[in-house]
């Protein structure tokens, strides 16, 4: 069964760091682009980062470039989002998602067909 399970969220102060994990079912981990999205209260969900199945290509939103790093552990079918220098505006529910439509841009949630349940990140000033 195609499945994604996130963990690692928490509450930190501005300038702090967190590592999020997304455990994917084997089929998703090996064949699908996986992305991280986030949604702040009252705002639309936005893409944060995406990585190709082979792991060679990674995309980042401009707002997180230089601060967030997405990586993959193939043996564990797990994708990570290392977040450093966190800001209050990084607060939100973070989701990982698997993409099934390569004709839609990576940052468009319409391209994704499997979503995790999310993990909450709260950054205080």
- List average pLDDT for each run of 10 residues in the chain, which is 125 residues long: 96 98 94 96 96 89 98 95 98 97 94 97 97
- Residue by residue, DSSP assigns 6-65 as EE--EEEETT--EEEEEEE-HHHHHHS-EEEEEE-TTS--EEEEEE-TTSS-EEE-TTTT
In angstroms, the CA 8 to CA 101 distance is 28
Written as six digits, the tokens of 63 are: 């707002």
* Model pLDDT, residue 55: 75
* Model pLDDT, residue 54: 80
Nearest residue to 49 (alpha-carbon basis) of 94, 2, 102, 115: 94
Tokens 């999020």 -> residue: 20
* Model pLDDT, residue 1: 87
* Model pLDDT, residue 56: 83
């Amino acid at each position: 069964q195609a499945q994604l399970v996130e963990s690692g969220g928490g509450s930190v102060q501005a300038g702090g760091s967190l590592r999020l994990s997304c455990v994917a079912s084997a089929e998703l981990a090996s064949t699908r682009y996986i992305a991280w999205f986030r949604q702040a209260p009252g705002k639309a969900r936005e893409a944060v980062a995406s990585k190709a199945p082979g792991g060679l290509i990674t995309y980042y939103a401009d707002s997180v470039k230089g601060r967030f790093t997405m990586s993959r552990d193939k043996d564990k079918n797990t994708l990570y989002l290392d977040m450093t220098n966190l800001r209050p505006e990084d607060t939100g529910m973070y989701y990982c998602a698997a993409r099934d439509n390569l004709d839609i841009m990576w940052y468009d949630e319409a391209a994704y067909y499997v979503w995790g349940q999310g993990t909450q990140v709260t950054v205080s000033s």
